[in-house]
């Protein structure tokens, strides 16, 4: 297997989602049928301020900030499939990140987020602010494509005029990116607005690189609905966000699994990789958003530690055993005598 994403055609992809697309969610998505998984967006200066650490106890590689937050964590299971999504601030920082990502083989591709409509992104000249700055887009993508040996992609939204969107995607194609993900909404539009599947189709027909269709979650409650979305957008690949956030078994050919089973599996994997309890809680509450009347949902609201969470899902013993195995490994690795 290659250590980079070798092809973006005919792929089911977990979308980048802040606080959701962390390692446990990415692993679940892969196990249930996703081919490629994007991490949450990380701003370039934030990743540059981290230290790389090989965690031999968990079997992971971690990028840790000075306050000990894990900014990005990966493991061999997602090698060749994990795309690091970045928001970029300045050319100088971008050039430094080139050096950063060339150094190790930890990520399998880089994506630049050009679709984020949030105020902090727009004010910082990132995300969807880039859609109307073609020179900057060209500069960023060309710098990355020329400087990296792994594939580079970007994720955009639509511009109000079709001809402007087409001019943008053709320019982007010319930079040598491996694929382009298109969310079929305008910068000002929200999930309740209709996704413009027909515009994605026109885009897919106008370029020669894979176009990854995005924005279809509203009508994609089943695996079979993915095929309809692909047909409507004329694409062979799709990137799924909200449906995967609510139940990552959306990628499963045989159909989604029951929510509580999936939540338990999510918690199992999250504990295995020592995910912080705030992130586990956030993801599980998002999965349970339509079922908050269930006892598990109400109990999740009151949790304040990994132990509290493990109790709800019948995983207390599992978590205790895990912690004991970490301790044992630590002793072995650092050659400390067990008292
Ligand atoms: C997002 N989205 C997003 N997009 C992106 O490029 N980088 C990111 O970090 C995030 N973060 C994020 C968090 C959450 C909780 C949601 C729901 C969405 C947007 C997302 O990737 C996607 O473009 C849209 O949600 C539309 O796709 P769906 O939801 O219709 O499949």
The ipTM is 0.99
Average pLDDT value over all residues in the chain? 94
Ligand 1 centroid vs 80 CA: distance in angstroms? Answer: 22
Q: What is the pLDDT of residues 17-38, one digit of tens each?
A: 999 999 999 999 999 999 999 9
CB distance 137 to 165 below 8 Å: no
**DSSP element (H, E) containing 13:** strand 12-14
- Please list, in sequence order, all residues whose beta carbon lies within 8 angstroms of the beta carbon of residue 271, skipping any fewer than 6 positions away: 280, 306, 309, 310, 315, 318, 319, 322
Give the Å distance between the CA of 124 and the centre of ligand 1: 19
Q: Is 263 assigned a catalytic role?
A: no
Q: How far is the CA of 18 from the centre of ligand 1 (A)?
A: 8
Residue 113: CB within 6 Å of ligand 1?
Answer: yes
Q: What digits encode the pLDDT tens for the residues 258-317?
A: 999 999 999 999 999 999 999 999 999 999 999 999 999 999 999 999 999 999 999 999
pLDDT given at position 203: 98
């Amino acid at each position: 297997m290659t250590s980079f994403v070798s092809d973006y055609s005919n792929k089911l992809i977990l979308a980048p989602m802040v606080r959701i697309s962390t390692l446990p969610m990415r692993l679940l998505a892969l196990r249930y049928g996703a081919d490629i998984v994007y991490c949450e967006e990380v701003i370039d200066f934030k990743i540059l301020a981290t230290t790389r650490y090989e965690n031999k106890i968990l079997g992971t590689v971690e990028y840790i900030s000075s306050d000990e937050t894990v900014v990005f964590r990966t493991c061999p299971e997602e090698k060749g499939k994990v795309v690091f999504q970045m928001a970029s601030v300045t050319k100088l920082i971008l050039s430094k990140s080139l050096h950063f990502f060339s150094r190790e083989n930890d990520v399998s591709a880089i994506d630049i987020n050009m679709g984020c409509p949030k105020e902090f992104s727009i004010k910082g000249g990132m995300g969807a602010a880039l859609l109307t700055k073609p020179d900057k887009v060209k500069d960023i993508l060309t710098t990355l494509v020329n400087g990296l040996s792994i594939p580079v992609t970007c994720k955009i939204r639509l511009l109000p005029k079709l001809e402007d969107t087409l001019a943008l995607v053709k320019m982007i194609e010319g930079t040598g990116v491996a694929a382009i993900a298109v969310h079929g909404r305008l910068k000002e539009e929200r999930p309740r607005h209709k996704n413009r599947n027909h515009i994605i189709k026109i885009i897919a027909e106008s370029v020669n690189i894979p176009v990854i269709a995005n924005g279809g979650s509203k009508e994609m409650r089943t695996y079979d609905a993915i095929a309809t979305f692909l047909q409507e957008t004329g694409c062979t690949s799709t990137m799924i966000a909200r449906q995967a956030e609510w139940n990552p078994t959306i990628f499963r050919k045989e159909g989604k699994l029951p929510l509580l089973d999936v939540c338990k599996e999510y918690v199992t994997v999250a504990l295995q990789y020592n995910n912080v309890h705030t992130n586990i809680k956030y993801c599980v509450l998002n999965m349970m958003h339509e079922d908050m009347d269930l006892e598990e949902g109400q109990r999740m609201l009151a949790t304040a530690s990994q132990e509290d969470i493990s109790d709800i899902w019948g995983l207390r013993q599992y978590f205790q055993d895990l912690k004991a195995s970490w301790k044992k490994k630590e002793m072995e690795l650092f050659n400390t005598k067990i008292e």
